[in-house]
A and B are shown apart, each in its own frame.
Chain A
Amino acid sequence: MNHHHHNDKHNNNQYDNQYDKRGSRSSEQGGKRRPELPVALGTELRELALVAGGAIPGALLRWQLEVASLDIDGTPQVGDVAANMLGCLLLGMVVGLAMGQPSISTRLMLWAGIGLCGSLTTFSGWMLELVQALDRGAAATSLQVLLTSLISGLLLLGLGQLIGRRLAQFRGTGRPAVRPPVPGQPTRP
Chain B
Amino acid sequence: MIWSRRLLLLLGTGFLGSFSTFSTFIAELHTVLLKRHWREALLLGWGSLLGGGLAIKAGLLLGARA
Chain A residues proximal to chain B, CB less than 8 Å: 55, 58-59, 62-63, 66, 84, 87-88, 90-92, 95, 113, 117-128, 130-131, 146, 149-150, 153-154, 157-158
Contact = CB atoms under 8 A, between A and B. Distances in A.
A121 B21 contact: yes
B19 interface: yes
B30 A154 contact: yes
Contacts of A84: 22-23
A154 B57 contact: no
A102 B55 CA distance: 38
A48 B49 CA distance: 30
Contacts of B25: 123
9 contacts: A62-B13, A87-B21, A87-B22, A88-B22, A118-B23, A121-B21, A124-B52, A127-B49, A127-B52
Nearest to A127: B52
A84 B20 CA distance: 11
B23 A117 contact: yes
Contacts of B4: none
B47 interface: no
Contacts of B29: 150, 154
A132 B14 CA distance: 20
B27 to A, nearest CB: 6
B13 A153 contact: no
Contacts of A158: 30
A90 B24 CA distance: 11
In the A-B complex, list the 8 residue pairs whose CB atoms are closest, starting with the nearest.
A121-B22, A124-B20, A123-B20, A119-B18, A127-B52, A87-B23, A153-B26, A91-B23
A158 B24 CA distance: 13
Contacts of A87: 21-23
A131 B13 contact: no
A150 B49 CA distance: 11
A58 B33 CA distance: 27
Given A127-B52, A131-B57, A154-B29, A117 B16 contact: no
